[in-house]
Amino acid sequence: MTFPPLGNANILIRPFEPGDADEFVRAAHESIETVGSWMSWCTPSFNREQALAWFATCDQDRAAGRAFDMGIFCATTGQLLGGASINQLSPHHRYGNIGYWVRQSRQGQGIARQAVALLHDFGFRQLGLFRLEIVTGVGNRASEAVAIAAGATFECRARNRIFLHGQPLDAHIYALVYANSHL
């Protein structure tokens, strides 16, 4: 199944390809201090085989319509900037979760906010969803800032909402909801 990339003048969101694996590992290794605090896969031991296995899982999930986990790339250079997804889909209730990460050397440049905007349009227009959640671990100020900048509304603090580094952790729930005026 071919997937049309999502993009704007600055970024392109597309499925990972096997040729992206080495750069994915480099991005993970440079980002352990920031991304690794909130994503348990981002460790010094993360390797090419794990990246390729992740890409295969992403392909299977996308083909089945279960999740859309993809890479964020620079629109001009093609550099891997991070990852973005709509996952944890509930087809019956028509909602999903938006996730994102940006490699440490490119953080603070609006990349995640732009990715959320592209996923917002994709989720509501292509997938027919009515609600997209952004779930951030309490203390993940960078992800919260992205959610707020993307126009998501803070809804609550959910106790033990995520499981990270072997421990349950409270999370803040932000939401984007479908509105005819936005489409």
Length of the chain: 183
- Under 8 Å between Cβ of 89 and 65: yes
pLDDT at 180: 57
pLDDT, tens digit, 9 for 90 and up, residues 81-111? 999 999 999 989 999 999 999 999 999 999 9
Mean pLDDT in the chain?
92
**Position 183 pLDDT exceeds 50:** no
**Position 1 pLDDT exceeds 80:** no
- Under 8 Å between Cβ of 174 and 134: yes
**Buried b vs exposed e over 95-129: b needs ≥16 C-beta within 10 Å?**
bbbbbbbbbbebbeeebbbbbbbbbbebbbeebeb
Residue 93 is given by DSSP the state: T
Q: What are phi and psi of 84, to 5 degrees?
A: -150, 150
Q: What are phi and psi of 136, to 5 degrees?
A: -120, 135
CA distance 15 to 60: 11
State the first-to-last Cα distance of the chain, in angstroms, to the nearest integer. 26
**Position 181 pLDDT exceeds 50:** no
pLDDT, tens digit, 9 for 90 and up, residues 104-142? 999 999 999 999 999 999 999 999 999 999 999 999 999
Question: What are the C-alpha distances in Å from 46 to residues 39, 57, 124?
Answer: 12, 16, 33
**Position 45 pLDDT exceeds 50:** yes
pLDDT at 170: 96
- Under 8 Å between Cβ of 129 and 96: yes
Q: What is the mean pLDDT of residues 63-74?
A: 94
CA distance 144 to 120: 16
